C-alpha cells in the first residue's frame, strides 16, 4: 500500500459492513475518488464527522486494490453544519454535490476546475454570500461550461451573429437569431438573459440586484439546459424551493 495526500469535498457516503463507510470525494488532484473510511460509524471514531457530505477535508489515503482507504482526515472548512442547518441551503447544496459527481464522470480523472467551482459554491452557500438559488444557477452554468457546454447568452448559438437576440433554444445552446430559430424556442425577458450572463461570468453585483420573477425564469432555463445535457434529470433538483 502506498500513501498519498490530497484535499477534497465529501460528495456522498454509503454504509459498509458494521461500522465502515464508503466515501465518495471530489479531490483537487485525483478527481473523483471512492475510499473506505474504517470505523467512522462508531461514536469513538476520530474523524467520523469530518467525512460527512459537504465537508472540505485534507486527507491522507492508502491505495487499495479496488477502493482506497482513508487513513487521516483533517477539516479545512466545516461547510456541513452551516449547510445542513437550513433547508434552502441544504437542498441547493445537495443538487450541487449530485451535479459535481455527474460532471466529474470518470473516477481518478483530474477535474481541477470542477473541484474549484464546487468548493467556491459550497463556501458561498455556507457563508450566505448570495441567495442560495443564485449560487446554484451560477454553479450549474459554470459547471456545464467547464464540461464543454457553455451556453451563449449574447451572440447566436448557431451561427454566431452578434446579439442581442430574442429567442432561447435549449438544444441549440442558448440565444438564437431569427434566421436560425428552431421550433420550440422561448422568448425570455431581456432581464432574464442579462441575469444568466451575469451568473455565467460571475457578475455578482448584477445577479444580486435581480428580482424574484427574473430569478425564477432564469432558474427554469438553467434547469432545462442542465437536464438536456445530463440526459436524465437530477433526482434532487425538484426539491429546491425557489424564492
Ligand atoms: Zn443565427
Measure 173 CA to ligand 1 centroid, in angstroms. Answer: 11
pLDDT digits (tens, 9 = 90+) for 94-106: 999 999 999 887 8
Spatial distance between the Cα atoms of 63 and 242, rounded to a whole number of angstroms: 42
Question: How much is the mean pLDDT over the chain?
Answer: 92
CB of 207 closer than 8 Å to CB of 130:
yes
Answer yes or no: is pLDDT of 241 > 80. Answer: no
Could you tell me the three cell numbers for 20?
465502515
Spatial distance between the Cα atoms of 116 and 87, rounded to a whole number of angstroms: 24
Measure 172 CA to ligand 1 centroid, in angstroms. Answer: 10
Measure 161 CA to ligand 1 centroid, in angstroms. Answer: 6
CB burial readout 151-184, b (16+ within 10 A) else e:
bbbebbbbeeeebebbbbbbebbbbbbeebbeee
Residue 207: CB partners within 8 Å, gap ≥ 6? Answer: 130, 134, 138, 195, 198, 199
Pairwise pLDDT comparison (45 vs 216), residue with the higher score: 216
Measure 163 CA to ligand 1 centroid, in angstroms. Answer: 9
Measure 71 CA to ligand 1 centroid, in angstroms. Answer: 55
Tell me which range, 3-7, 17-21, 149-153, 238-242, is most confidently predicted by mean pLDDT: 3-7
Spatial distance between the Cα atoms of 213 and 191, rounded to a whole number of angstroms: 10
CB-based burial of residue 30 (10 Å sphere; 0-12 exposed, 13-18 middle, 19+ buried)?
buried
Measure 167 CA to ligand 1 centroid, in angstroms. Answer: 10
Answer yes or no: is pLDDT of 93 > 80. Answer: yes
Measure 158 CA to ligand 1 centroid, in angstroms. Answer: 5
Measure 72 CA to ligand 1 centroid, in angstroms. Answer: 54
Quickly state the pLDDT bin for 132 (edges 50, 70, 90): very high
Measure 186 CA to ligand 1 centroid, in angstroms. Answer: 15
Measure 176 CA to ligand 1 centroid, in angstroms. Answer: 5
Q: What percent of the chain has pLDDT over 90?
A: 81
Residue 129: CB partners within 8 Å, gap ≥ 6? Answer: 123, 135, 204
169, 229, 214, 164: CA torsion to nearest 10: -40
For the stretch 82-85, contacts whose Cβ atoms lie closer than 8 Å and that sit 24 or more positions apart, written own/partner, are: 82/125, 82/126, 82/127, 83/54, 83/122, 83/125, 83/126, 84/54
Q: For position 65, what pLDDT does the model report?
A: 86
54-75: average pLDDT: 94
Measure 154 CA to ligand 1 centroid, in angstroms. Answer: 11
pLDDT digits (tens, 9 = 90+) for 13-63: 999 999 999 999 999 999 999 999 998 888 788 787 899 999 999 999 999
Q: For position 243, what pLDDT does the model report?
A: 47
Q: For position 41, what pLDDT does the model report?
A: 85
Q: What percent of the chain has pLDDT over 70?
A: 95
Q: For position 242, what pLDDT does the model report?
A: 57
Note the pTM of the prediction, 2 decimals. 0.92
pLDDT digits (tens, 9 = 90+) for 165-206: 999 999 999 999 999 999 989 999 999 999 999 999 999 999
Measure 65 CA to ligand 1 centroid, in angstroms. Answer: 52
216-238: average pLDDT: 79
Amino acid at each position: 500500500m502506498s500513501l498519498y495526500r490530497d484535499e477534497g469535498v465529501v460528495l456522498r457516503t454509503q454504509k459498509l459492513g458494521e461500522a465502515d463507510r464508503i466515501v465518495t470525494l471530489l479531490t483537487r488532484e485525483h478527481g473523483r475518488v471512492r475510499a473506505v473510511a474504517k470505523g467512522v460509524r462508531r461514536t469513538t471514531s476520530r474523524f467520523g464527522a469530518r467525512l460527512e457530505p459537504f465537508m472540505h477535508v485534507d486527507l491522507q489515503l492508502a491505495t487499495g486494490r479496488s477502493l482506497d482507504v482513508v487513513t487521516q482526515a483533517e477539516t479545512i472548512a466545516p461547510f456541513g453544519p452551516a449547510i445542513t442547518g437550513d433547508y434552502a441551503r441544504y437542498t441547493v447544496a445537495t443538487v450541487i454535490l449530485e451535479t459535481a459527481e455527474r460532471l466529474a464522470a470518470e473516477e481518478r480523472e483530474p477535474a481541477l476546475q470542477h473541484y474549484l467551482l464546487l468548493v467556491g459554491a459550497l463556501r458561498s452557500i455556507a457563508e450566505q454570500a448570495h441567495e442560495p438559488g443564485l449560487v446554484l444557477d451560477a454553479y450549474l452554468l459554470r459547471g456545464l461550461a467547464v464540461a464543454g457546454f457553455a451556453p451563449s447568452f449574447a451572440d447566436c448559438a448557431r451561427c454566431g451573429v452578434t446579439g442581442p437576440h430574442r429567442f432561447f433554444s435549449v438544444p441549440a445552446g442558448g440565444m438564437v437569431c431569427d434566421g436560425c430559430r428552431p421550433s420550440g424556442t422561448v422568448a425570455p425577458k431581456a432581464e432574464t438573459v442579462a441575469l444568466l450572463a451575469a451568473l455565467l461570468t460571475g457578475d455578482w453585483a448584477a445577479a444580486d440586484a435581480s428580482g424574484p420573477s427574473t430569478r425564477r425564469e432564469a432558474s427554469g432555463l438553467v434547469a432545462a439546459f442542465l437536464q438536456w445535457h445530463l440526459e436524465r434529470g437530477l433526482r434532487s433538483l425538484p426539491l429546491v424551493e425557489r424564492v
